[in-house]
Structure 1
């Protein structure tokens, strides 16, 4: 379902499952791991083990705003990568009009709400791929 050029913004409290979800996405994409939280290095690039896109995994928790995110030059990677930004709400939306925003909540039951933005996701049948998750338009 995800392809090069896709942006996914993950939001949720500590321990909500942002990195765990990223690990699952990375496994599905077939990229080189291990996938760990990039909190202190801010961003990691995971090359594909096959012919698929690379995964750019960003932790925006320590970033002060869009300017600091721009300093990472992620836009140079966006077209050739699936980019996942943890803690990206309020910071990463300016990277792409087309994006998925996934809000994770682990209290008391783990839930995920998916918000689709832009023409890339309009009318897509992602509900089957996200069975059991709440999908918002």
Structure 2
């Protein structure tokens, strides 16, 4: 587990772009954090790094969006579990059918999307209430992430 400061939205996007360089098809990233913590901003950086078709906006009302690759890399599946009642409703989205071929990012996925893969990266975004500076706590699960991330 590592913690990284993200003082600005640009820093959050840059972290997402750097993270994308470490991601490959089949990877699951779960983003946790309060409203306005930077989950979608981080995903915008991942999308830029993967080179997928955008725009990347919060999927809250559509639940999931697929962003195809503009090159040879994997597509990005961007989902939001905020309005879902649990793993059964997430299963109804059939995310596991595209999991092997895409990078999947699930906002609000803690406790819901964990069962999609034993190998997953969880990023907890927090803002200091006094300074409003954000941090990202990066937690790797499974063999794929036991060495952590280098970005």
> What's the TM-score, normalizing by structure 2?
0.82
Residue 106 of structure 1 pairs with residue 130 of structure 2 = no
Give the Cα separation in 2 of the matches to 1:61 and 1:97.
21
- What are the Cα deviations for residues 73-102 of structure 1, in whole angstroms up to 9, with x where unaligned? 000000000000000011000000000000
Give the Cα separation in 1 of the matches to 2:95 and 2:60.
16
Residue 84 of structure 1 pairs with residue 136 of structure 2 = no
1:49 aligned partner: 70
Residue 120 of structure 1 pairs with residue 144 of structure 2 = yes
**Greater helix proportion:** 2
Give the Cα separation in 1 of the matches to 2:147 and 2:106.
23
* Pick aligned residue for 2:83 from 62, 86, 104: 62
* Pick aligned residue for 1:14 from 15, 30, 35: 35
2:54 aligned partner: 33
Give the Cα separation in 2 of the matches to 1:32 and 1:106.
29
- Offset at residue 113 of structure 1 (A): 0.1
- Offset at residue 123 of structure 1 (A): 2.1
In structure 2, runs of 5+ residues without a counterpart are 1-21
RMSD: 0.8
> What's the TM-score, normalizing by structure 1?
0.91
